[in-house]
Amino acid sequence: MLKFLAGSVAALAILAGGAVANAQTLKMWGPEQIAEPLVAELWNGIKADFEKANPGVTVEFMPPTGTISNGAVQAAIQSDAGPDVILTNSGIGRITIVRNAKQVMPLTEQYEKRGWKDQIYPWLYTELKGQFGGEIYEVPDGLDALGIWYHKDVFAAAGWEVPDTWKGFETLLAAIEAKGLQPIAIGPRTTGSAGHLFGNLLQSASGKETIGQALRKEIAWDDPKVATGAVRLQKLIEAGFIKKEMAGLDLDGASRLWFNKRAAMFVAGPWFTANARKAGYDLANAGYAPMPSDLPGEAIPTGGVGWSWLVPVNSKQPDLAMKWIDFMLSDAVMKKRAQAPASTMIYPRELKGIEPSTPVLREIFAAAAGGVGYNPSVYLPATVLDTYFQMIQGLISGQVTGAAGMQQMQAKMAEAK
């Protein structure tokens, strides 16, 4: 009897082992908003295609509890019950945190071996190559392009247009204010959101080249050439064009003002279509324009790598994770995503002949076609990020001046390695 029992247990174990060897699960951290019907439809389709191409494999989505900025990704990796492959908000500051904590694998070799190198914009590859002395830890999934969102109907009715000069912009803000609308809404409690507007202002005042130098520490942040954007923000606050009360809002609290048309403008990227859709905003009414600049050719969106794929060091399916990334970079998947109504970003390589289904995305793609400026939030070193975001909150709540804020930034930048 005992022998029989032992025998059957052993048999069961072998069976179970065999089953495990065949059936593999790939746990993917992401995508955000999977509970949204449109997002779910798109991703369940992608999942089904991948499972069909790889028999025995099951893809499991882990709804993200946050990003690297609030520690959620680190906690998930650390827990070991965590994901095998991760899709999350990236940028060098965030990647530095998980790289320094030795939580993610270097992927440099795969770029050569699997040809990823040729599947993203060349300038993007060069940029990634330059960040950690040649090592690359992420595969870009989507790029951001931040600019001004406005209501077409409100602007048409009042005869407003996003102007070409900063002076004109200030006049527009005053006109909107006189109509009893909030000129610009911002929710700096969501740190990224604080950086969206601020990055736009820096780009508009100083231009791409100068901001790039500041990020590479070739020019000081408190140099007037860089600090003008911060001083402009201070003036907008003082004039009441951006209300101090907004320092206590988060992204959703602020975007609610825009969706309800109590605010005329909002600085955001293509991902804002997802928020708008959830809030029931008619996307056909959304217009997009880069922040006006007095410098020739500098009225461009800001951005950088918005989302990336990461492979945790303790991924239980590293090979499968690489295959998944191959799959995500394939033409079929990328085109499918770009054409889906749930599409919310710019893809990491040029997709010829693809028309996004949401009209405002067409405007965004057109504005970004000539390249984008820097969104410092995704380029600043991790140790400086906190100071950067808090300084913007300080500016909006009227606690620091633009000049003083940039001095603090410079002090922190000088410390950073």
Residue 185 Ramachandran class (φ > 0 left, ψ -120 to 50 alpha, else beta): beta
> For residues 288 and 270, what is the distance between their CA atoms, to the nearest angstrom?
10
Which x/- pattern, by CB under 8 A, does the window 100-139 give for other proteins? xxxx------------------------------------
Among 225, 278, 316, 349, contact with other proteins (rule: CB under 8 A)? 278
CB-CB neighbours of 355 under 10 Å: 11
Per CB under 8 A, does 58 bind other proteins? no
The piece of 8-16, 71-79, 167-175, 224-232 that touches other proteins (CB under 8 A) is 71-79
Residues numbered 147 to 206 that lie near other proteins (CB under 8 A) are 188-189
Which x/- pattern, by CB under 8 A, does the window 6-35 give for other proteins? --------------------------xx-x
- Helix, strand, or coil here: 202? helix
Burial of 18 per CB tally in 10 Å (0-12, 13-18, 19+): exposed
Residues numbered 371 to 390 that lie near other proteins (CB under 8 A) are 382-383, 386, 390
What are the tokens at 40? Answer: 């779910």
> For residues 162 and 15, what is the distance between their CA atoms, to the nearest angstrom?
67
C-alpha 190 chain-centroid distance: 13
Least Å from the CB of residue 213 to other proteins: 26
Which x/- pattern, by CB under 8 A, does the window 297-336 give for other proteins? ----------------x-----------------------
Least Å from the CB of residue 333 to other proteins: 25
**Residue 242 vs 300, nearer CB to other proteins:** 242
Least Å from the CB of residue 117 to other proteins: 28
Please give the full DSSP string across 48-116, using - where no structure is assigned.
Answer: HHHHHHSTTEEEEEE-----TTTTHHHHHHHHSS--SEEEEE--HHHHHHHHHTT-B---HHHHHHT-G
Nearest Cα residue to 350 out of 371, 326, 373, 322: 371
HSE toward the beta carbon, residue 215, CA cutoff 13 A: 27
Per CB under 8 A, does 69 bind other proteins? yes
**Residue 58 vs 100, nearer CB to other proteins:** 100
> For residues 355 and 361, what is the distance between their CA atoms, to the nearest angstrom?
9
Per CB under 8 A, does 90 bind other proteins? no
Per CB under 8 A, does 62 bind other proteins? yes
> For residues 314 and 119, what is the distance between their CA atoms, to the nearest angstrom?
26
The residues of the shown chain that bind other proteins, judged by CB under 8 A, are: 32-33, 35, 62-63, 65-66, 69-72, 74-76, 78-82, 97, 100-103, 188-189, 243-253, 255-257, 259-260, 262, 275, 278-280, 313, 382-383, 386, 390-391, 393-394, 396-400
